[in-house]
């Protein structure tokens, strides 16, 4: 493989928390050296970064690719192209497909498809229970052997506490990570918005933010009992944060994530029943949004993800209550995150700690860093270039983005996987 030196770069290092000018040398798919000042003389190919930011590639936990079953919404090919265009070098895929990814055979099928069709790294998750029905746990050990990096029923909460506790116990014996969706099912059933004045005025069925807190409290109690490895996929309310802080302080093996939509949008964005803003859990109040941003800043919330969920036009062009939840975000994750940077709420090392370093660490990967020996999975981006997003320019098969027509700032210039360029903005 060709050796490459990235010169004149603004190096964003989430591991050291630094944002500095320098160069980075890559050979055989790995970072071999970095420094400041003049680029060392060598026979390597030189890429002049033009003063743009060079950061570890994003590791995105919770991406839905609709194979098998709904390939018309998103295929591995289209998802891979979208990821590369968004600076995402590793996508961690969800098992909420049709059928669910709950057997080694199904897992091997999607793994082969991903390897053949995607230019980025793909790591599959598998279902925690068969059919994601919450009745009988899957063969966690066999699925691990087939390549599953974590186990989740996605937004299907395992309501049966005994089934969930047994699954956590078995996962602990295998060293497997369980990813759960904290929510109290009785309160959240049928909800399309967050409870409060806005939902009442709009006549929308709503759920109290306390449902997330109650779901998290239950899961934490089970973690105390089982001592399993646990990740909460989305923490979106201020009321859930004290419970998360106590669980971490008490030494439980727990991490938490949040979605880019809950960091950059709030419940008022639904406005005139715009279904592209319907996500799960529903968008929260501005106070909740600010509390979650602060939790990311302090490290209480570990991970930011896209929660990329493609839905076709027929699923979204419905009355708000009936429309499908979810939004695509592989290509908009970085520019949306840069809103927090431009508003001086989060700096770039903190953003990439949550989007690259922490998700890599949680999955036991050595990516997400700019250290010597780390994989050369990199994103080069200009944080200042302005643009208006046109959803029809997205590479995803589905274009259900809430950012359509919005002014954004920051674009990916190029993306590299193992030192090889997989995307360059024309």
**Percent of the chain clearing pLDDT 70 (strictly above):** 100
Q: How confident is the model at residue 43 (pLDDT cuts 50, 70, 90)?
A: confident
CA angle 312, 62, 388 (to 5 degrees): 55
What is the reported pLDDT for 426? 85
Question: In 146-164, which positions are buried (b, 16+ CB within 10 angstroms) versus exposed (e)?
Answer: bebbbbbbbbbbbeeeebb
With helix as H, strand as E and coil as C, how does 285-343 read?
CHHHHHHHHHHHHHCCCCEEECCECCCCHHHHCCCCCCCCCCECCCCCHHHHHHHHHHC
What is the phi/psi pair of residue 333, to 5°?
Answer: -55, -50
What is the reported pLDDT for 1? 54
Q: What is the pLDDT of residues 108-123, one digit of tens each?
A: 999 999 999 999 999 9
Q: What is the pLDDT of residues 296-347, one digit of tens each?
A: 999 999 999 999 999 999 999 999 999 999 999 999 999 999 999 999 999 9
Residue among 270, 281, 390, 264 nearest 334 (CA) = 264
* DSSP of 240-290: GHHHHHHHHHTT--EEEEEEHHHHH--GGGGTTT-GGG--SSPP--HHHHH
What is the reported pLDDT for 5? 95
- To the nearest whole number, what is the mean pLDDT of the chain? 96
Q: What is the pLDDT of residues 232-256, one digit of tens each?
A: 999 999 999 999 999 999 999 999 9
What is the reported pLDDT for 224? 97
pTM: 0.96
Q: What is the pLDDT of residues 94-147, one digit of tens each?
A: 999 999 999 999 999 999 999 999 999 999 999 999 999 999 999 999 999 999
């Amino acid at each position: 493989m060709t050796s490459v030196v990235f010169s004149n770069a603004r190096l964003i290092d989430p591991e050291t928390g630094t944002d500095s000018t320098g160069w980075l040398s890559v050979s055989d798919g790995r970072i071999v050296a970095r420094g400041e000042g003049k680029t060392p003389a060598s026979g390597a190919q030189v890429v002049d970064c033009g003063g743009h930011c060079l950061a570890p590639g994003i590791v995105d936990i919770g991406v839905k690719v609709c194979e098998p079953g709904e390939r018309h919404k998103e295929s591995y090919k289209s998802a891979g192209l979208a990821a590369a265009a968004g600076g995402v070098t590793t996508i961690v895929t969800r098992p909420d497909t049709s059928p669910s990814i709950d057997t080694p055979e199904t897992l091997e099928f999607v793994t082969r498809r991903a390897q053949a069709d995607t230019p980025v790294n793909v790591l599959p998750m598998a279902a925690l229970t068969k059919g994601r029905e919450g009745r009988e746990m899957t063969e966690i050990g066999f699925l691990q052997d087939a390549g599953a990096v974590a186990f989740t029923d996605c937004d299907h909460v395992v309501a049966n506490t005994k089934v969930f506790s047994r699954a956590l116990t078995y996962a602990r014996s295998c060293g497997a990570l369980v990813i759960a969706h904290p929510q109290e099912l009785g309160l959240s059933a049928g909800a399309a918005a967050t409870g409060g004045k806005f939902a009442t005025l709009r006549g929308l069925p709503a759920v109290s933010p306390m449902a997330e807190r109650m779901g998290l409290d239950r899961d934490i109690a089970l973690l105390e009992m089982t001592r399993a490895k646990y990740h909460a996929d989305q923490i979106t309310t201020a009321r859930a944060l004290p419970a998360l802080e106590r669980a971490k302080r008490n030494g439980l093996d727990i991490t938490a994530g949040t979605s880019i939509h809950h960091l950059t949008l709030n419940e008022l964005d639904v406005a005139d029943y715009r279904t592209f803003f319907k996500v799960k859990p529903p968008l929260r109040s501005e106070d909740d949004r600010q509390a979650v941003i602060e939790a990311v800043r302090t490290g209480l919330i570990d991970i930011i993800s896209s929660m990329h969920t493609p839905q076709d036009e027929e699923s979204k062009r419905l009355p708000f209550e009936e429309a499908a939840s979810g939004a695509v975000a592989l290509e908009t994750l970085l520019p949306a995150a840069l809103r927090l940077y431009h508003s001086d709420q989060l700096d770039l090392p903190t953003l990439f700690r949550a989007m690259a370093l922490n998700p890599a660490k949680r999955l036991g990967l050595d990516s997400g860093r700019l250290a010597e020996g780390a994989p050369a999975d990199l994103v080069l981006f200009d944080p200042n270039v302005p643009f208006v997003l046109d959803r029809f320019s997205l590479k995803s098969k589905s274009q259900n983005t809430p950012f359509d027509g919005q002014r954004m700032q920051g674009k990916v210039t190029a993306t590299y996987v193992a030192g090889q360029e997989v995307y360059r903005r024309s």
